[in-house]
Amino acid sequence: MGRTGRKSWLWVAVCFAAAATLLIPVKLQTEAADPVAPPLLLGTAWYPEQWPESRWDADLTLMQQAGIHMVRVGEFAWSRMEPSEGQYHLGWLDRAIAMAAEHGIFTVIGTPTAAPPAWLTQKYPETLRMGEDGRRAEHGNRQQFNFANPKYRELARKIAEQLAKRFGHNPHVLGWQIDNEYAAESYDPDTKAQFQQWLKARYGTLDNLNARWTTAYWSQTYSDWNQIPIETHYGNPGLLLSWKRFVSDTWRSYQKNQLDVIRANSDARQFITTNTMGWFDGYDHYTVIQDLDLAAWDDYVGEGHLDPARNGAAHDLTRGFLRKNFWVMETQPGFVNWAAVNNSLDKGEVRAMAWHAVGHGADTVSYWQWRSALNGQEEYHGVIVGADGTPVPLYSEIKQIGNDFAKAGPVLEGTTVKSEVAILHSYDSRWAIEWQKHNRQYDPVAEIVSYYKPLRAISQSLDVIAPTAPLSQYKLVVAPGLNVLSDAEAANLIKYIRQGGHLVLGQRSAMKNVDNGLQTERQPGPLVDLLGGRVEQFYALVDPVPVEGDWGSGQGKLWAELLSAKDNDVKVLEKYGKSNGWLDGQPAAITRKVGKGRITYIGAWLDDATMAAAAKWMTDVSGVKPALGPVPEGVEVYPRYGRHGAVYILVNFSKTEQTISLPSQMQDVLAGGIKRSVTLPLYGVAVLSASR
């Protein structure tokens, strides 16, 4: 993480740290004066403002005993930090950070802007956001602020600046979380005016906007920028996509407002992040996260149990924002309070989930929250310590994770995920499909996971990245449902194929252009020439249709694209069986070699077995191999690579005990000893080092 180019700050920090270490006994590196956080961090969200200071030591002692080395604090404590305008009270936070440090615990400070104080919104009611129904939010919940309001930004910047000035050189502060889970937009008249200005900057002239949105349709032609409305669901597709892009840019500038003042007042050593929400698509995360030092997300299962594929893909998505290791800033200690049924994860599942996260590239796993607040909206949420201040049953499992992390941290230090296969993910495409599903059961994330799951089982490592990301390192790039394809994205994909890569497009790909308008060629639009074939017609399905071919006989559900192969060298991989007459006997999947590269189009949403066969074909033809070698079904392998070679994390998610034979002798980091095979019960974990 860390930032560069600010040597003077660093020097101040070193002096500060040197002074601090005389007073506080924390683990030191011999060559540097800063206290050093463990490489693999177990953390928790702690709210010292909710408790008397006389209680803090008992909580921090229990944390220390569990192996917790990080607390995130402050993200909702604005009324305590600034009880009236301009009166900043930060002494309590200083004392909390210092007391945590005495227990070997580092702090991440959350800026408190997701929860403005009552005096603020009373004094400046324009800082309250407005719903689509025209109603202003009120105090009493959180996220009631208007993300585009200049006054709110001014006040947010001031509190962030106060925090950064006070703690930006504190050696026990690892970094910053800006706000909390950006989500709530505002539809007030001022924000609408900003949107219209944004459109003017992007489109230049109304003629250009009218043409690109085809506003001749339904008399939507605009003759004044002020006529353009906000639409979020049923409007013109160009208008809908523009609003989302405006929202993304507005979150970016909302974040930058705080980021700039924290950067200017803090050590380069301190990272700046925010906590995202997995598949949440309220804004384009590639736009917003690019300015940060670190990506982090809040990983909640809610009802049911961990789905390693869907959750694993969300980890990979988060890692893909900055294409490096990330943090799990929040995760559930057993259960939540907001799902339909807030069942607990089973015994061992919380630990398996922590290792699942680390396997996917997390360097920190932090639990929300440490202890139940005595009142407030989340009284039922899972915790580590109860309202009475004593550990709940899960505490022992958290402690086990603490022990694990202490043992495995040194082995995993400096390691990252490296993959031969990438899945392309695009917010534009997900939104475009969500607005015009055409089949109400069509879930673009489920489509991504349908490809992800079998591909990951084979490759044992997968990246999830934006369609504009560099692709040359990958043997195989799969784009399920890349519905919107900009010219820049198309150019990136064409370059990849021409350089010898294998691109697989999934159903609904390349139908739309950058304005969410239809491409003027059939799907896959600008890739038709390379494919040597195209989509003749799409069909939304009520019942599944049969498919047969190289990948066996199976079914396609929800969606079927009738493909044609124009060029002689196009190979038909799978055909539709008898169904609606139009599809009967027609191509469902085609592929073509292009120089050293290859392009494949799959027009059907294949059942699991057929998709598994398709994944096997894709990986075989692209030369992708499993990182560790074959393992029993339900066992997940996560390789991480560093200076000393590979470290493999194994988790058993199958229902029964499994024995995994290893391709060579390996060090069993958690259990100890040199192994040729390991046996894992349900939710059992092994960390194996190939080289030590």
In the numeric block, the tokens 């494919």 are attached to: 531
Between 129 and 598, name the residue whose CB sits nearer to ligand GLA. Answer: 129
In the range 396-455, which residues lie near ligand GLA by CB under 6 A? none
Residue closer to ligand GLA, measured from CB, 180 or 513: 180
Hey, what are 174's tokens? Answer: 């690892």
Taking CB under 6 A as the criterion, the residue among 187, 286, 297, 368 binding ligand GLA is 368
- Distance CA(116)–CA(108), nearest Å, equals 20
Q: Residue 189 CB, nearest distance to ligand GLA (Å)?
A: 30
Strands 296-299 and 275-276: parallel
Q: To the nearest whole angstrom, how small is the minimum distance from the Cβ of residue 97 to ligand GLA?
A: 20
Cα separations (Å) of 455 from 77, 358, 572, 593?
A: 44, 20, 21, 21
In DSSP terms, 342 is beta-bridged to none
> Based on CB atoms, which residue is closest to ligand GLA, 254 or 368?
368
What whole-number distance in Å separates Cα of residue 621 and Cα of residue 608? 20
298 binds ligand GLA (CB under 6 A): yes
Q: In the complex, what is the shortest distance from the CB of residue 387 to ligand GLA, in angstroms, rounded to a whole number?
A: 16
Q: Is 181 a catalytic residue?
A: yes
Active-site residue identified among 181, 397, 489, 636: 181
Q: If you count DSSP H runs as helices and E runs as strands, how many of each does the chain have, helices first?
A: 18, 25
Measured between alpha carbons, how far is 105 from 469 in angstroms, rounded to an integer?
37
**Helices 444-459 & 608-622, crossing angle to 10 degrees?**
50
Residue type, 303: E
Q: Out of 82, 330, 349, 420, which one is annotated catalytic?
A: 330
In Å, how far are 110, 326, 368, 483, 568 from 73, measured between CA atoms? 6, 19, 11, 41, 63
**Vertex 229 angle, CA 227 and 231, to 5°:** 160
x/- track of binding to ligand GLA for residues 315-354 (CB under 6 A): ---------------x-----x------------------
- Give Cβ neighbours of residue 60 (< 8 Å, ≥ 6 apart): 99, 100, 102, 103, 105
Contacts with ligand GLA by CB under 6 A: the residue count is: 9
Tokens of 558: 């929800």
Return d(Cα 377, Cα 385) in angstroms, integer.
Answer: 17
Q: What is the spatial distance between Cα 259 and Cα 270, in angstroms, rounded to a whole number?
A: 12
For the bound state, the minimum distance from the C-beta of residue 336 to ligand GLA, rounded and expressed in Å, comes to 5
Question: Could you tell me the two tokens for 573?
Answer: 């991989």
Between 80 and 381, name the residue whose CB sits nearer to ligand GLA: 381
User: Is the Cβ of residue 65 or residue 377 nearer to ligand GLA in the bound state?
Assistant: 377
169-208 binders of ligand GLA (CB under 6 A): 180-181
Cβ proximity to ligand GLA, 185 vs 298, nearer residue: 298
CB of 388 to ligand GLA, least distance (A): 21
**Closest separation in Å from C-beta 368 to ligand GLA:** 5
Report the residue number, 330 or 443, with the smaller CB distance to ligand GLA.
330
Q: How many residues are listed for the chain in this entry?
A: 692
Least separation in angstroms between CB 430 and ligand GLA: 21
Query: Whose Cβ is closer to ligand GLA: residue 233's or residue 655's?
Result: 233
Tell me if 49 contacts ligand GLA by CB under 6 A.
Answer: no
Cis peptide leading into 587, omega within 30 of 0? Answer: no
Residue 477 engages ligand GLA in binding (rule: CB under 6 A)? no
Nearest approach in angstroms of CB 337 to ligand GLA is 7
User: What is the rounded distance in angstroms from the CA atom of residue 363 to the CA atom of residue 340?
Assistant: 31
Tell me, rounded to whole angstroms, the distance of Cα 651 from its chain centroid.
21
Choose among 44, 40, 678: nearest CA to 359. 40
Position with the least CB separation from ligand GLA: 298
Q: Contact between 381 and ligand GLA (CB under 6 A)?
A: yes
- Mode of pairing for the β-strands spanning 476-479 and 533-540: unpaired
CA distances from 669 to 398, 528, 661, 686 (A): 18, 51, 16, 7
Distance of closest approach, residue 619 Cβ to ligand GLA, in angstroms: 36
* Helix, strand or coil, per DSSP, at residue 213: coil
Task: Kindly state whether residue 300 participates in binding ligand GLA, applying the rule CB under 6 A.
Answer: yes
One symbol per residue from 67 to 86: x for binding ligand GLA (CB under 6 A), - otherwise; what is it? --------------------
- Which residue, 267 or 298, has its beta carbon nearer to ligand GLA? 298
Q: Dihedral (C-alpha) 99, 103, 106, 108: value to the nearest 10 degrees?
A: -50
Return the active site residues.
Answer: 181, 330
**Contacting positions for ligand GLA (CB under 6 A):** 180-181, 298, 300, 330, 336, 368, 378, 381
